[in-house]
Amino acid sequence: MPEESLLRQEIREQPHSLMRLLAATTAFSDARELLRAHNTRAIRLVGHGSSDNAACYGVYAFALLGGLPAVRDSISLPVYYRSESRLEHSAVVALSQSGRTPDVVAYVERARAQRAPTIALTNDPSSPLAEVADVTVPLLAGHERAIAATKTYTSELAALAILAAHLGGRASEVTDAISRLVETMAAHLRDAEIPRLEKLASVLAHAGRMFVVGRGLEYATARELALKLTETCRVATTALTSTDLAHGPIAAVDSQFPVLAIASLDDALPAVLSALDRARRAGATIVLFGNAAGLVEGVAGTAPVPSVPLPVLSPIMSIVPGQLFADSLARARGLNPDQPFGLTKVTLAP
């Protein structure tokens, strides 16, 4: 295992890949013009894995920045069940870092056959997904060598926010805010949170299962953190909204079943804090991520991030310590974070 994993190197590259994305204004303008020309009234998001987690964020980004309803659409309905029912005046935003996920490509092909406008967000602008979509927004994250996606995920989040802002007439406000966020992220990465995360990893090294809780905007972060921990650390993780934790799964919590949560300063924070109160009463070990992580008393550990210029952008920052934590926890568990068991970079399974 190298001293600095590929995974950690790519986590550190995120400010650079985000800066490149900010400079790619033509693709976003093209996407906006396509959607306007089709009188788009709703967005259908599709993706798997980390890209589906980014799509969870997209639901919020399009509503809060673009004023447009957005949904994570069923891929199975058109692809396996040949269903023709679809949202009227809707456009497709398909996410895939490789651009080669077969059923996402098939979904876009069917949407085009129905004359819906289609936009691909992919790190490979020569991929099948890019070929089939009307407009491609390249993620410009550079070659991702680690198997666990990190820089392509944050680029997907930023691309969704920028695209939504273009639709909502807030492009310059949001790109300015992301620029400032990126500077803060770079400083945060320089400031070496590693010892804090390694200490957290030693606290949780023997936990084989964890809940990861978020709500609203940060539910995407909870899902992505859970996925990173499952694939790199072989931990059984379940991502839950704070309300769903109370609807059953709280019954499984005890001191051996830690609860990780994303606590950020936004309108859903009270719901997260309420769920954490409940988890604490159940005896859970609690670890907090997010820009409000430092504000909560009586937890086993925190991995706070700096606040961001616009609350709607917080997921782009909040995931970073989670990515670093996955790297640290993998090492603490004797695993190579660059080599998840049985995975390859491009997922071609149906």
Query: Which residue lies nearer to its own copies by CB, 230 or 323?
Result: 230
Residue 306 interacts with its own copies (CB under 8 A): yes or no: no
Is-contact 275 178, C-beta < 8 A? no
- Residue 271 near its own copies by CB under 8 A: yes
Which region, judged by CB under 8 A, interacts with its own copies, from 4-12, 105-113, 250-258, 294-302?
250-258
Neighbouring-strand partners of residue 286 = 259
User: Site for its own copies (CB under 8 A): which residue of 59, 108, 185, 200?
Assistant: 59
H helical segments located in the chain = 6-12, 14-23, 25-37, 50-66, 76-79, 102-113, 128-132, 151-167, 171-190, 194-204, 219-233, 242-246, 269-281, 314-332
Q: Which is nearer to its own copies, 182 or 318 (CB)?
A: 318
Per-residue DSSP letters for 43-100? EEEE--THHHHHHHHHHHHHHHHH---EEE--SHHHHTS------TTEEEEEEESSS-
In DSSP terms, 261 is beta-bridged to 213, 288
- Taking the least distance from each CB to its own copies, the nearer of 43 and 132 is 43
Residue window 105-144: x/- pattern of binding to its own copies, with contact defined by CB under 8 A: ----------------------------------------
- How many C-beta atoms lie closer than 10 Å to residue 192's C-beta? 9
In angstroms, what is the minimal distance from the CB of 276 to its own copies?
A: 11
Among 117, 138, 216, 315, binds its own copies (CB under 8 A): 216
CA 142, 56, 159, 290 dihedral sign is: negative
Residue pointed to by tokens 């997010």: 290
Site for its own copies in 12-51 (CB under 8 A): 41-42, 48-50
Q: Which residues, numbered 196-215, are part of the site for its own copies (CB under 8 A)? A: 208-210, 215
Any contact of residue 281 with its own copies (CB under 8 A)? yes
Nearer to its own copies, 86 or 196 (CB): 86
Residues 149-168 that bind its own copies (CB under 8 A): none
Give the phi and the psi of residue 31 in degrees, each rounded to 5.
-65, -45
Which residue in 9, 179, 274, 336 binds its own copies (CB under 8 A)?
A: 274
Among residues 11, 22, 31, 68, the one that binds its own copies under rule CB under 8 A: 68
Of the listed pieces 5-13, 170-178, 268-276, 292-300, which binds its own copies according to CB under 8 A?
A: 268-276
User: Does 338 interact with its own copies (rule: CB under 8 A)?
Assistant: no
**Binds its own copies by CB under 8 A, chosen from 2, 3, 23, 85:** 85
Q: 37 phi and psi, to 5 degrees? A: -60, -30
Comparing CB distances to its own copies, the nearer of 45 and 177 is 45
φ, ψ for residue 324 (rounded to 5)? Answer: -65, -35
Q: Does 193 bind its own copies (CB under 8 A)?
A: no
Q: Which residue stretch of 32-40, 181-189, 241-249, 293-301 sits at the interface with its own copies (rule: CB under 8 A)?
A: 241-249
Looking at 1, 29, 267, 294, which residue binds its own copies (CB under 8 A)? 267
Q: What Cα–Cα distance (Å) separates residue 213 from each residue in 217, 242, 260, 265? A: 12, 6, 6, 15
Amino acid residing at 251:
A
